[in-house]
Amino acid sequence: MGATVTTANTNEKTWSGGNEPMGASYGKLMMWFFILSDALTFSGFLAAYGFSRFKFIETWPLADEVFTHFPFMHGVSAPMYYVALMTFILIFSSVTMVLAVDAGHQMKKDKVAIYMFLTIIGGLIFVGSQAWEWKNFIKGEYGAIETKGGSLLQFVDKTGKRVALSEFAATLPEDRTQLTGSRATWFMNEGSLPTYSVAEVQAGFKAHPELLVRTETISNGDEATLKDTKIEQTLTKKKHKTVLTRAESEARLATAHYVVEGANLTRNEYGSKLFADFFFFITGFHGFHVFSGVIINIIIFFNVLLGTYEKRRSYEMVEKVGLYWHFVDLVWVFVFTFFYLV
């Protein structure tokens, strides 16, 4: 005995394709699936960052001390200002994308083109700003010393203000040779030599008795006291790095092993090495998404100018690209919160 299915309209083919069971076209539905999978990927990355930061919280860099640069304002400390501007530009580009989608619904070709163009400009500014931020992060500003035990030593004056290596390092008549494949044991290679050697930093520190060493460890409490034979000063900050006395500074500096300038995947002058690893990977992965979005937006922009969607009588492609663009904007909000605010 076989089962029989009776429908009101015998010509209707329920599973023949072409219908929209969820009220969305195939293209929009696939975009949502992609966004969901990508959201899970970013969630995993940010969760790994959060766990690592919690584990190494005492040596994690302070964002206010890392991201202090602003274009055309060299030497001026502007903590988080430029990052905030980048965030505003990216969010504003999301607004222009919304306007482009709305103009598409109204079949207004010129307005779609204008708002798409503004979205592209915002994306390019953000990607360029992120590249500029990477450059400063890699180059560094102050420099530090890595000890034989792997700890990081930074330098401050007796008011707690950071001091760059270039301000006190001595110049010694020593011959420094970079290890290359032909000069190193077992054909080891090393990156470019630091501007100063360990001996030059140690000699310069010895010649400047007003300097102190600051460790990468964050002290608990609201106050930190710098003590020396001649001066005692209290710093009132919620988060601060531990500053050693002059005697302790000299003892720690005696264990110096390597001069660190800026950050890379091996060393990091700002604090925990994992911070640089996560920063390069997560912000780079997000930057790749933004750059990809800009390229796609440019393609859609030219299609709008050519009247492709006007002929189709539908600007759904603009809407699908808009979904992706809103997603990368939303992801940046979480990246910005995790890396710069928390």
Query: pLDDT tens digits, the chain, 342 residues: what are they?
Result: 444 444 445 455 555 556 656 667 888 889 999 999 999 999 999 999 999 999 998 889 988 889 988 998 877 888 899 999 999 999 999 999 999 999 999 999 999 999 999 999 999 999 999 999 999 999 998 999 999 988 999 999 988 899 999 999 988 876 655 555 555 555 455 567 788 999 999 999 999 999 999 998 887 644 444 444 333 343 334 578 889 999 999 999 999 999 999 998 888 999 888 999 999 999 999 999 999 999 999 999 999 999 999 999 999 999 999 999 999 999 999 999 999 988
Of the candidates 301, 308, 310, 296, the residue with the CA atom closest to the CA atom of residue 34: 296
| CB contact at 8 A, 79 and 68 | yes
CA distances from 323 to 295, 298, 327, 342 (A): 15, 16, 6, 27
What is the dihedral angle through the alpha carbons of 55, 61, 63, 67, rounded to the nearest 10 degrees?
Answer: -140
Sign of CA dihedral 326, 328, 330, 333: negative
Report domain extents, the chain: 26-140+275-341, 144-261
Half-sphere exposure of 273 (CA within 13 A, CB side): 9
Question: What letter would DSSP give residue 279?
Answer: I
CA angle 159, 165, 167 (to 5 degrees): 70
What is the dihedral angle through the alpha carbons of 292, 298, 303, 305, rounded to the nearest 10 degrees?
Answer: 170
Model confidence, pTM: 0.82
Tokens 């928390």 -> residue = 342
- In the numeric block, which tokens belong to residue 43? 């969630």
CA distance 193 to 318: 50
Q: What CATH number does domain 26-140+275-341 carry, 1.10.1060.10, 1.25.40.340, 3.90.550.10, 1.20.120.80?
A: 1.20.120.80
